[in-house]
Chains A and B, each alone.
Chain A
Amino acid sequence: MLKRVHFPTSALPYLLVAPQILITLVFFIWPASQAMYQSFLIEDAFGLGTEFVWFENFQILATDNHYLASFQRTAVFSLLVAALSMGFALILAGFAQRVVRGAMFYRTLLIWPYAVAPVLAGALWVFMFNPTLGIFPYFLEFAGITWNHYLSGNQAMALVILAAAWKQVAYNFLFYLAAMQSIPNSVIEAAAIDGAGPARRFWTIIFPLISPTTFFLLVINMVYAFFETFGIIHAVTQGGPGTSTTILVYKVFNDGFVGLDLGGSAAQSVVLMVLVIAMTVVQFRFVERKVAY
């Protein structure tokens, strides 16, 4: 934590931490406590005064069907994003790991989507699925499926899941590949000598050995899907059609910034804060941080 030997005490360390602490206080801790405070207030109908109402905003949320539905939707959305991108990455890493020479070549070809902003990922996918022009609806028509994510809530959900998962494959692939490459070759060879074929080796040796990575990625992907996909939703579906893609971060933004329901939005913020804290705690407490690279 601290060096055995350190510099003598002076004002210097305070000056050194000052910029970071100042920014933290002004832009993080103060606004967060404001959000907490506001979550206890309700504005009257004319926006003239506010009333301190303790947990009423939270009670309203807990009984608000729209909010509960959004909660459920977010859970489904995040799990599907995580499962889809992790599954795809796992398969690709499993094959790439078998390539002795060239694994790094495939890595180069697979990791760059990490650098694509979520909102851009959304733009690319919404273009491919444009109901009148996009290539996918064109081919789906032959399969008897009419695609219009402006009308179908499920199709809109599928679209944002695809876009969100696509971008995240790169990250998952990188970590899976590193984890697999850190397994000693001798273990794999021993299994081969025991007569296990490639598929069996993968499921009985490699997959269990990289389970810490799987858990780590699951947490990271959930956080990603919860928060960083805001851009996709905002640019592609605006939470619609109806509210079929309104996930929690989009709702908190929409209710606060567009709907100007300060207390309700603040209460939602606090709920989200609790969720992030929970995920951070899980990540730090239970995730094997050094997944051995």
Chain B
Amino acid sequence: MVEHRPLTAFLTHLVLILGVFAIALPVWITFVASTHDELRMNQAPLPLWPGEYFLANMKQTLFGSGLSGTEQAPVWLMLLNSLAMALMISTGKIAISLLSAFAIVYFKFPFRMGFFWMIFITLMLPVEVRILPTFEVVANLGMLNSYWGLSIPLIASATATFMFRQVFLTVPDELLESARIDGAGPLRFFFDILLPLSRTNIAALFVILFIFGWNQYLWPLLITTDTSMTTIVMSIKQMLEAAEQSPQWNIIMTTALLAMIPPVFVVIAMQKLFVQGLTETDK
């Protein structure tokens, strides 16, 4: 800061603190809702300060039989489903993007650029523009209601491929030459040299992709009909619908809290990698 006037400094911090409060407010309200019982949560005005039912709500949400009037899987199972989906999507994307970037950068072969453009095209075809036909493909392949169906169709990734391509291009040519003289073949070079050198990029990308995978909504909604395959993020919709008959807001909001804790925790705990991943992939 160029100025050193205490008043401006005070105002600066004041604005920022107000901003932080404004951003945090919805989550605070959610948290507060998860600490009261159903009775209290049905009286206006709603509380703004935590009560003492947090653990009870957690227990009921995680292991209880769900909202009355719905047929939902237990929340712990949804969390597991979400975790499996997020991990499969993120590791899958990273694995196949690493391989194709390696091929495109380090090999000269017919149709190389054709493949490159084919991967590029996926950038322009989000699920939202091909909902029905993609659903049909997954259904025909018998992948509905499976982890494979939840993850595989999402793991093609132009951004990840481009990012790894960028990373590989900055690796000096002499390392490859050196490795060739040392007798390393392509796969050996990939695993011994390239992968260790891309370690932080992989970690950064993993953070972004884990969040991406965890937060999937439309896709699981389309291809899971079996309640045992429900993910926690998509369950919110059914809960909100159920709330119109049985407004168990304490349970709904505890579920919402549980649905956001894992990705939020990842962002905060791995902030440096998260920022690196976000700026490197430009989304």
**Is B242 positioned at the interface, with any CB of A under 8 Å from its CB?**
no
- List A143-174 residues whose CB lies under 8 Å from chain B: 166, 169-171, 174
A127 CB contacts on chain B under 8 angstroms: 29-30, 33, 249, 252-253
Contact A35 B129 (CB under 8 A): yes
**Is B75 positioned at the interface, with any CB of A under 8 Å from its CB?**
no
**Contact A4-B173, Cβ < 8 Å, known A9-B107, A100-B1, A235-B236:** yes
B132 CB contacts on chain A under 8 angstroms: 35, 38, 256-257, 262, 265-266, 269
The interface-forming segment of A22-30, A40-48, A54-62, A66-74 is A22-30
**Is B84 positioned at the interface, with any CB of A under 8 Å from its CB?**
no
Chain B contact residue count (CB 8 A cutoff): 105
**Contact A99-B134, Cβ < 8 Å, known A13-B112, A17-B104, A124-B27:** no
B39 CB contacts on chain A under 8 angstroms: none
Q: Within the assembled complex, what's the spacing in Å between the Cα atoms of A289 and B237?
A: 37
Partner of B264 from A5, A115, A189 at Cβ < 8 Å: A115
Contact A174 B152 (CB under 8 A): no
B217 CB contacts on chain A under 8 angstroms: 117-119, 230-231, 234
Q: Within the assembled complex, what's the spacing in Å between the Cα atoms of A110 and B125?
A: 31
**Contact A276-B103, Cβ < 8 Å, known A24-B156, A234-B237:** no
Partner of A110 from B12, B20, B33, B233 at Cβ < 8 Å: B20
**Contact A99-B186, Cβ < 8 Å, known A9-B108, A134-B46:** no
B249 CB contacts on chain A under 8 angstroms: 127, 133
Contact flags (1/0) for B97-109 with A, using CB distance below 8 Å?
1011011111111
A19 CB contacts on chain B under 8 angstroms: 95-96, 99-100
The DSSP consensus for interface residues of chain B is helix
A171 CB contacts on chain B under 8 angstroms: 278
Contact B125 A273 (CB under 8 A): yes
Contact B29 A276 (CB under 8 A): no
Contact B264 A124 (CB under 8 A): no
**Is B195 positioned at the interface, with any CB of A under 8 Å from its CB?**
no
Q: Within the assembled complex, what's the spacing in Å between the Cα atoms of A23 and B106?
A: 22
B41 CB contacts on chain A under 8 angstroms: 133
Contact flags (1/0) for A1-34 with B, using CB distance below 8 Å?
1111111010011101101110111111111101
B109 CB contacts on chain A under 8 angstroms: 9, 13-14
Q: Within the assembled complex, what's the spacing in Å between the Cα atoms of A232 and B134?
A: 22
**Is A92 positioned at the interface, with any CB of B under 8 Å from its CB?**
yes
Contact A269 B131 (CB under 8 A): yes
The DSSP consensus for interface residues of chain A is helix
- In the assembled complex, the CB of B252 is this many whole angstroms from the nearest CB of chain A, namely 7
**Contact A123-B129, Cβ < 8 Å, known A16-B100, A111-B267, A114-B211:** no
Contact A5 B176 (CB under 8 A): yes
Contact A5 B173 (CB under 8 A): yes
B229 CB contacts on chain A under 8 angstroms: none
B253 CB contacts on chain A under 8 angstroms: 127
Write the chain B residue with the least CB distance to A269: B129
**Is B42 positioned at the interface, with any CB of A under 8 Å from its CB?**
yes
- In the assembled complex, the CB of A277 is this many whole angstroms from the nearest CB of chain B, namely 5
A119 CB contacts on chain B under 8 angstroms: 217, 233-234, 236-237
Q: Within the assembled complex, what's the spacing in Å between the Cα atoms of A14 and B110?
A: 9
Contact A28 B125 (CB under 8 A): yes
**Contact A256-B260, Cβ < 8 Å, known A235-B237, A276-B125:** no
**Contact A20-B99, Cβ < 8 Å, known A28-B122, A198-B8:** yes
Partner of B256 from A29, A109, A124, A201 at Cβ < 8 Å: A124
Q: Within the assembled complex, what's the spacing in Å between the Cα atoms of A138 and B43?
A: 11
Contact A6 B130 (CB under 8 A): no
The interface-forming segment of B57-65, B113-121, B197-205 is B113-121
Partner of B108 from A2, A23, A166, A252 at Cβ < 8 Å: A2
- In the assembled complex, the CB of A32 is this many whole angstroms from the nearest CB of chain B, namely 5
Q: Within the assembled complex, what's the spacing in Å between the Cα atoms of A108 and B274?
A: 11
Provide a sorted-by-A list of 19 A–B residue pairs whose CB atoms are within 8 angstroms.
Answer: A21-B100, A24-B122, A28-B156, A29-B125, A32-B133, A99-B16, A106-B20, A111-B267, A112-B264, A115-B264, A117-B215, A117-B233, A118-B215, A119-B234, A119-B236, A124-B256, A166-B23, A171-B278, A269-B129
Closest 4 CB pairs of A and B: A31-B133, A117-B215, A34-B133, A115-B263
